[in-house]
Chains A and B, each alone.
Chain A
């Protein structure tokens, strides 16, 4: 390609998920010329998710929930502690959660939602290049002085820009390659992953509203602590869409390898658990999907900016794996911040690591990183105290069922027995220490 044929824009974004779309949208609104490259036929066609927390999206597109393909808001939540056959559940909610702004918590189908968001980005002026794989970055200079100046796509075509925003998600082949080529600093700890498997089950509106006790404008999120297999570290969920429910289970990779179970077997075990089963009975499978989830948290967050490059979303591991399981909102906050930084870099005419480093500095001061910091010990706690998510939920549920088991024995005998059963097999000091650690999970 000769120099005058060269396609050059202000910024190229790789990845049309929440992170990349937020970056592209923000930049286009600020008047920048932006190309977004997405390997799926349409944005969203490769993406898997659960809930959408909408605080950042609402800043970009006020009252987005009036236009976006929202399935249902989350009007109430349930946390279920799973044991073998026993279970304990806690349901809570607020009438406010069923009216705007719906507690900023929504159930969406990512393939449809991302596609909608890409339409908004396009309206704002972003050039979408869908069905296109970004294979590598193009650089100027060598080693420490390297500066990204463009993207080479599959088929060897080249696109140039003053900066590239990498928002390529959890399976971040391009971010990993670029990090090596530009010698970027990794996080303090290495990134860990869970594999999330998910099924979409068609139940029909009526059954969903009956079974989950919902009005037609309401929805619910049921999260499960404890797992269908002893020693397996992970957690499941059921979220209600309009006509379908999404059921998923995310298990840590080391734990999957250790268990020798396949993610599909884990999913089936979860589905067949007596508590879970009742929700799904009579449904039809509409889709089976799988996706990685970065779990390393705060300490695994790598260098986020370099000469001509910014990294956002799951590609940077920005997921909070506590009970919130928050990834989309963090992806959006990082994408939006990277987009704002690009706009000020454009105004200055300087896309060096110094200017783009303002993205990292600003993002690290923001809400997402403060949340990630609060849960920074979570990955370690799960590694060193796996019983928090397996044994304790099981013990808890057993204690509650024991407590309420009705026999001829007196209440105090029953309660004493329940307590003894609970403490059995739990080393006392370890238990206290673990309860302290448990605060880091919740």
Chain B
């Protein structure tokens, strides 16, 4: 029991964080023309919430699970090709830290 917190998956962790998601409105888009040209694809590991994943059908493309976004801004800074169009979620939506 005691060792549980050392073996949480990211999904377990995000489950503890409170969100209010605008499910039909993504605040993050990637450009499918640009991503295939990106070698390292740092978004796929640099995001603390693993929002960006390689598309299983076409690993050159990126899928975006925007609802997990913690709004830290890391992806905007690490994307080498400026492919990410990132806006703030609408007011009051998105992550809501209870501790912070």
- Where the two chains meet, the residues of A that have a C-beta atom closer than 8 Å to any C-beta of B are 39-41, 44-49, 109-112, 114, 130-133, 153-154, 170-171, 173, 193, 195, 197, 199-201, 244, 246, 253, 256-257, 260-264, 268, 271-272, 277, 280-292
Contact = CB atoms under 8 A, between A and B. Distances in A.
B88 A264 contact: no
B92 A41 contact: yes
Which secondary structure dominates chain B's binding surface? loop
Nearest to B2: A282
A262 B47 contact: yes
Contacts of B72: 171, 195, 290-292
Given A133-B91, A171-B72, A253-B74, A287 B42 contact: no
A261 B45 contact: yes
B88 A257 contact: no
Contact of B88 (A45, A173, A272): A173
Contacts of B42: 257
B16 A288 contact: yes
Nearest to A111: B100
A292 B46 contact: no
Interface in B46-92: 46-50, 70-74, 76-78, 86-88, 90-92
A112 B98 CA distance: 7
B50 A262 contact: yes
B96 interface: yes
Contact of A287 (B6, B8, B92, B97): B97
A286 B98 CA distance: 9
28 contacts: A39-B91, A39-B92, A44-B97, A45-B95, A45-B97, A47-B97, A133-B88, A171-B72, A173-B86, A195-B48, A200-B99, A256-B46, A260-B45, A262-B46, A262-B50, A263-B46, A264-B10, A271-B6, A280-B5, A282-B1, A285-B16, A287-B100, A288-B17, A288-B70, A289-B97, A289-B99, A290-B48, A291-B70
Contacts of B48: 195, 197, 262-264, 290
B47 A171 contact: no
Contacts of B100: 44-49, 109-112, 114, 287, 289
Given A264-B48, A280-B5, A285 B13 contact: yes
B46 A171 contact: no
Interface string B10-45: 101110111010000000000000000000101001
The 10 closest A-B pairs by CB, nearest first: A171-B73, A131-B92, A111-B100, A290-B48, A110-B100, A288-B13, A263-B48, A41-B92, A131-B91, A290-B72
A104 B75 CA distance: 35
Nearest to A246: B99
B8 to A, nearest CB: 6
A286 B16 contact: yes
Contacts of B18: 287
B19 to A, nearest CB: 11
Nearest to A38: B91
Given A282-B2, A287-B98, A130 B73 contact: no
A132 B88 CA distance: 10
Interface centre among A133, A246, A271 (most CB of B within 10 A): A133
Contact of A290 (B2, B40, B74): B74
A112 B95 CA distance: 15
A281 B91 contact: no
A282 B92 CA distance: 34
A257 B2 contact: no
A285 B5 contact: yes
Contacts of B97: 44-48, 110-111, 287, 289
A47 B74 CA distance: 15
Given A173-B88, A264-B10, A287 B17 contact: yes
A132 B92 CA distance: 7
Contacts of B96: 40-41, 45
Contact of A133 (B4, B10, B17, B90): B90
Contacts of B78: 253, 256-257
B46 A257 contact: yes
Contacts of A268: 6
B73 A170 contact: yes
Nearest to B45: A262
A171 B99 CA distance: 19
Nearest to A193: B77
A281 B17 CA distance: 21
Nearest to A191: B77
Contacts of B92: 39-41, 130-131
A133 B27 CA distance: 13
A325 to B, nearest CB: 16
Given A133-B88, A262-B45, A292 B74 contact: yes
A244 B2 contact: no
Nearest to B90: A154
Contacts of A264: 10, 13, 48-50
Contacts of A199: 13
B99 A287 contact: yes
